[in-house]
């Protein structure tokens, strides 16, 4: 007899099932975006705008999804994003997610707001890749203590989330009057006297007058924390290429391009629209990871093709957890991995990045590039190069424009020093 889960054929099926099982308030907390939910929608739509250009009859024997990150070999690039309170989705909470992550050899980024103590997951650290996500606390020594607890528990990397110093206004949760049940709490913060900025202000009050606003952590606090740990530290929530230089100046070992799944500030751009600009600015100095709106293996493929080293999956993990506990999470990861491998085989790609880019390059946008833009772009590159054929271009935050050729097979025009396809950047920040 086949398992009932075999009828769940893709991540969307899990979403439908999870919604039916969870109370409306819990569903709103776990799934809604901020305000009007536009960024949440755009994250998914951005992937749908890119079509794939396949190569047929390529020999893809010996292909692989594995990758090396911070000296560790990962079987595949599909990681679990940090998310608060897995206990809302399933009684076994993060224990179930960690078991699935270990089974699927997926790195699992455990949230500061996990519903179980991080020490209770330490037995998984030997068999899986556990990373710890830190929300910066107003007292830097509390942040440091959390990092040191993660180190002692065997976690392999720290992800500092920098895009949510205050909570976003999640109107959907507010409409449902969602409250955390007493059984699900931020237990890892219990030992500390944590003060939070309450963004629901009395009439006439100003957020800027809140005493904690003046103490909000800055780049200096992040740099200090990074100096205190031997673990690699990634900064999560970078969207603007202008933030890459300060991020790398802190000593960060990696960047996660993310808009927090559209849960904090609505109308931020889609993750995928920001990714090429960040990748171009990082110039392969550190790994770039990305999350937001990934619902298919072909979405994973597109993010990798546009320069991500690995991706993080958010809500679908909680949907899998709500539907079938650790089995559901493992199934969600397995569905994505199967789809990624099929996409690679069907586009004729057996490795990441260099072989994937041509498969995505063609249809990202169809605009003809004006000769003025071409000239400006040529000027901005160290080595002028001919831009042949039709060009596609897109604006990214910071006033930069990235471009790829419309004909995917001439994407190799962009091969320069290191045989990696490069996106050209036009720096017109003065205009923004």
Ligand X SMILES: Cc1cc2nc3c(=O)[nH]c(=O)nc-3n(C[C@H](O)[C@H](O)[C@H](O)COP(=O)(O)O)c2cc1C
Cα Rg of the chain (Å, integer): 22
DSSP H helix total and E strand total for the chain: 13, 13
Q: Is 319 in the site for ligand X (CB under 6 A)?
A: no
Q: Which residue has the tokens 């270990």?
A: 102
Least Å from the CB of residue 291 to ligand X: 4
CA distance from start to end of the chain: 61
Contacts with ligand X in 149-178 (CB under 6 A)? 161
Cβ–Cβ under 8 Å, residues 130 and 155: yes
Distances (CA, A) of 251 to 98, 145, 228, 229, 371: 29, 19, 11, 11, 39
Q: Is 26 in the site for ligand X (CB under 6 A)?
A: no
Q: Is 43 in the site for ligand X (CB under 6 A)?
A: yes
Instruction: Give the range of 142-150, 165-173, 309-317, 388-396 binding ligand X by CB under 6 A.
Output: 309-317
Burial 51-61 (b: 16+ CB within 10 A, else e): ebbeeeeeebe
Least Å from the CB of residue 342 to ligand X: 20
Q: Which residue has the tokens 């050209």?
A: 424
Q: Is 291 in the site for ligand X (CB under 6 A)?
A: yes
Between CA 259 and CA 250 the distance in angstroms is: 20
Which CB atom, from 43 or from 125, has the smaller least distance to ligand X?
A: 43
Q: What is the DSSP letter of 407?
A: S
Q: Is 81 in the site for ligand X (CB under 6 A)?
A: yes
Q: At what angle do helices 140-152 and 219-227 cross, to 10 degrees?
A: 40
Least Å from the CB of residue 76 to ligand X: 16
Q: At what angle do helices 297-305 and 271-282 cross, to 10 degrees?
A: 30
Q: Is 313 in the site for ligand X (CB under 6 A)?
A: yes
Binder of ligand X out of 18, 78, 83, 96 (CB under 6 A): 83
Least Å from the CB of residue 62 to ligand X: 31
Least Å from the CB of residue 238 to ligand X: 12
Least Å from the CB of residue 336 to ligand X: 11
Q: Is 113 in the site for ligand X (CB under 6 A)?
A: yes
Q: Is 134 in the site for ligand X (CB under 6 A)?
A: no
Question: Which residue's Cβ lies closest to ligand X?
Answer: 314
Between CA 84 and CA 94 the distance in angstroms is: 9
Cβ–Cβ under 8 Å, residues 333 and 8: no
Q: Is 86 in the site for ligand X (CB under 6 A)?
A: no
Q: Is 296 in the site for ligand X (CB under 6 A)?
A: no
Tokens of 175: 């409409």
Q: Is 30 in the site for ligand X (CB under 6 A)?
A: yes
Tokens of 172: 């959907």
Size of the site for ligand X (CB under 6 A): 22
Q: Pattern of binders to ligand X over 248-287, x per CB under 6 A?
A: ----------x-xx-x------------------------
Q: Is 111 in the site for ligand X (CB under 6 A)?
A: yes
Residue of 86, 95, 260, 319 marked active site:
260
Which CB atom, from 397 or from 399, has the smaller least distance to ligand X?
A: 397
Q: Which residues contact 93 (CB under 8 A, 6 or more apart)?
A: 85, 86, 87, 114, 115, 116, 184
Least Å from the CB of residue 299 to ligand X: 10
Cβ–Cβ under 8 Å, residues 65 and 337: yes
Note if 40 is an active site residue: no
Which CB atom, from 34 or from 276, has the smaller least distance to ligand X?
A: 34
- Residue 354, number of CB atoms within 10 A of its CB: 15
Contacts with ligand X in 342-401 (CB under 6 A)? none
Instruction: Give the range of 77-85, 180-188, 336-344, 350-358 binding ligand X by CB under 6 A.
Output: 77-85
H or E element: which one contains 246?
helix 244-249
Q: Is 116 in the site for ligand X (CB under 6 A)?
A: no
Sort strands 391-396 and 72-74 into parallel, antiparallel or unpaired: unpaired
Q: Active-site positions?
A: 260
Contacts with ligand X by CB under 6 A lie at 30, 43, 81-84, 111, 113, 133, 161, 236, 258, 260-261, 263, 291-294, 313-315
């Amino acid at each position: 007899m086949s398992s009932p889960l075999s009828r769940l054929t893709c991540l969307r099926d899990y979403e439908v099932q999870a919604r039916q099982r969870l109370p409306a308030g819990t569903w709103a907390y776990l799934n809604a975006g901020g305000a009007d939910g536009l960024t949440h929608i755009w994250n998914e739509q951005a992937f749908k705008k890119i079509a794939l250009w396949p190569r047929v009859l390529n020999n893809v024997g010996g292909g692989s999804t594995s990758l090396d990150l911070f000296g560790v070999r990962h079987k595949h690039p599909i990681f679990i994003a940090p998310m608060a309170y897995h206990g809302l989705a399933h009684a076994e909470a993060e224990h179930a997610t960690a078991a699935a992550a270990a089974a699927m050899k997926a790195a699992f980024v455990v949230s500061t707001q996990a519903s179980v103590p991080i020490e209770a997951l330490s037995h998984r650290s030997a068999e899986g890749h556990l990373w710890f996500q830190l929300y910066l606390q107003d007292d830097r020594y509390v942040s440091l203590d959390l990092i040191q607890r993660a180190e002692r528990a065997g976690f392999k990397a720290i992800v500092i989330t920098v895009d949510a110093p205050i909570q976003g206004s999640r109107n959907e949760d507010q409409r449902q009057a969602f409250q955390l049940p007493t059984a699900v709490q931020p237990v890892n913060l219990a030992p500390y006297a944590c003060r939070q900025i309450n963004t629901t202000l009395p009439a006439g009050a100003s957020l800027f007058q809140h005493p904690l606003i003046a103490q909000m952590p800055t780049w200096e606090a992040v740099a200090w924390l990074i100096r205190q740990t031997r673990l690699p530290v990634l900064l999560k929530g970078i969207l603007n290429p202008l933030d890459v230089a300060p991020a790398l100046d802190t000593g960060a070992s990696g960047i996660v391009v993310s808009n927090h799944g559209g849960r904090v500030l609505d109308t931020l751009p889609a993750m995928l629209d920001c990714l090429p600009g960040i990748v171009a600015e990082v110039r392969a100095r550190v790994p770039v990871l990305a999350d937001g709106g990934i619902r298919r293996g072909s979405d994973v493929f597109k993010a990798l093709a546009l320069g991500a080293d690995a991706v993080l999956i958010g809500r679908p993990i909680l949907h899998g957890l709500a539907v079938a506990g650790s089995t559901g999470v493992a199934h969600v990861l397995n569905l994505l991995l199967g789809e990624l491998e099929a996409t690679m085989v069907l586009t004729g790609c057996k490795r990441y990045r260099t072989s994937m880019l041509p498969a995505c390059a063609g249809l990202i946008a169809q605009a003809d590039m004006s000769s003025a833009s071409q000239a400006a772009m040529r000027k901005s590159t160290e080595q002028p190069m001919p831009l042949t054929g039709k060009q596609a271009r897109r604006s990214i935050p910071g006033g930069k424009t990235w471009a790829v050729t419309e004909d995917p097979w001439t994407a190799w025009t962009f091969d320069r020093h290191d045989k990696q396809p490069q996106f050209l950047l036009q720096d017109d920040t003065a205009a923004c």
